């Protein structure tokens, strides 16, 4: 874990990861005319013969990638998350999932962190949508380093996968020695009273919230659940022994929150608080929106404190 306050975007991590796997001649990248924003342009500059810009045509992107996969290629499809999952839902479900194609879907600018672009571009349903698709793996990196490592992992992973990226710079948590473990949660801070399970760039806020809670006499464990599907059931069940679990995500609460609720309901009922969105947000700065919707450190700490007090 890094100790400094360096900030980078997870999409930059994705771009760097593409460069690292570019030597694999089976890797191809398709983009929806967003390569500067998604950072797939880094791959395009080095391997132009394996980069394909299909314009603003998400369904074509997905079906073309599925076709390339059927020929043995490893396609990475990148564009804005809201457009990729929303506009190409049928193609993803049928041409990728039903057909069991080895396609990697990369949704950038996800969540209300997309901020000033407004609700129509803020993808808040993508985690909950992709996690229920048969055979689809769902990865939500917490920082640029994890995004880079996850991209490298996906080049060797067989089967459909969704990688969720964010627009703004956020705190870098991990250093270059970090190893991404697919399907495994990681304990970022120990605690005995309550477990906070976070995914994506909300993780730094959850870690800071744990520090604030300590001052209030609440010992909070913080878990990074980078793989939402397959979720680490063992980690959730272990955390449930504390009796109280909180989930934090930049999106509708039936994404990570829904996945955790399912594990608890089937295995070990525990008190659960889901922090996230229950409807559309609005346009504004990334920091202001996180504060308004309780996804900043102060908001998370306040909700957890109230939750613990009520639970006891």
Per domain, the residue ranges of the chain are 8-171, 186-311
Looking at residue 226, what is its pLDDT?
A: 98
Looking at residue 105, what is its pLDDT?
A: 98
Residue 41 a catalytic site member: no
Q: For 234-256, what is each residue's pLDDT tens digit?
A: 999 999 999 999 999 999 999 99
Q: Same topology for domains 8-171 and 186-311, yes or no?
A: yes
Looking at residue 5, what is its pLDDT?
A: 75
pLDDT tier, 15 (very low <50, low <70, confident <90, very high otherwise)? very high
Q: For 145-178, what is each residue's pLDDT tens digit?
A: 999 999 999 999 999 999 999 999 999 999 999 9
User: Mean pLDDT of all residues in the chain?
Assistant: 96
Q: 199-236 in b/e burial notation, b at 16+ Cβ within 10 A? A: bbbbbbbbbbbbebbeeeebebbbbbbbbbbebbbebb
Residue tagged active-site, from 41, 58, 82, 148: 58
Summarize the confidence of residues 37-66 as an average pLDDT.
97
CA distances from 271 to 197, 205, 240, 302, 304 (A): 13, 22, 8, 17, 12
Q: 148-175 in b/e burial notation, b at 16+ Cβ within 10 A? A: bbbbebbbeeeebbbbbbbbbebbbbbe
Looking at residue 2, what is its pLDDT?
A: 57
Q: Is 8-171 a domain of CATH 1.25.60.10?
A: no
Q: Is the pTM of this model over 0.85?
A: yes
Q: For 82-136, what is each residue's pLDDT tens digit?
A: 999 999 999 999 999 999 999 999 999 999 999 999 999 999 999 999 999 999 9
Topology given in CATH for the domain delimited by 186-311: Rossmann fold (3.40.50)
């Amino acid at each position: 874990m890094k100790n400094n306050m360096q900030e980078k975007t997870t999409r930059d991590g994705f771009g760097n990861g593409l460069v690292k796997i570019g030597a694999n001649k089976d890797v191809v990248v398709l983009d929806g005319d967003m390569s500067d924003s998604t950072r797939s342009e880094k791959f395009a500059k080095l391997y132009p013969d394996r980069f394909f810009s299909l314009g603003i045509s998400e369904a074509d992107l997905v079906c073309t990638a599925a076709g390339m996969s059927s020929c043995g290629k490893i396609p990475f499809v990148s564009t804005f998350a809201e457009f990729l999952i929303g506009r190409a839902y049928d193609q993803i479900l049928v041409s990728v999932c039903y057909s069991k194609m080895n396609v990697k879907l990369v949704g950038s600018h996800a969540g209300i962190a997309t901020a000033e672009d407004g609700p129509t571009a803020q993808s808040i349903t993508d985690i909950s949508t992709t996690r229920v698709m048969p055979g689809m793996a769902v990865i939500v990196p917490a920082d640029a380093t994890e995004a880079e490592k996850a991209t490298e992992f996906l080049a060797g992973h067989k089967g459909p996968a969704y990688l969720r990226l964010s627009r703004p710079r956020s705190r870098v948590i991990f250093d270059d020695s970090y190893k991404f473990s697919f399907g495994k949660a990681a304990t970022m801070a120990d605690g005995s009273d309550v477990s906070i399970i976070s995914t994506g760039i909300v993780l730094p806020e959850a870690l800071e919230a744990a520090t604030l809670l300590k001052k209030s006499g609440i010992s909070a464990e913080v878990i990074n659940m980078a793989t939402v599907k397959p979720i680490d059931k063992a980690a959730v069940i272990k955390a449930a022994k504390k009796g109280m679990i909180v989930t934090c995500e930049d999106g509708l609460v039936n994404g990570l929150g829904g996945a955790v609720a399912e594990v608890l309901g089937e295995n070990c009922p525990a008190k659960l608080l889901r922090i996230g969105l229950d409807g559309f947000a609005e346009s504004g700065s990334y920091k202001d929106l996180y504060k308004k919707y309780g996804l900043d450190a102060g908001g998370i700490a306040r909700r957890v404190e109230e939750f613990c007090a009520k639970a006891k």
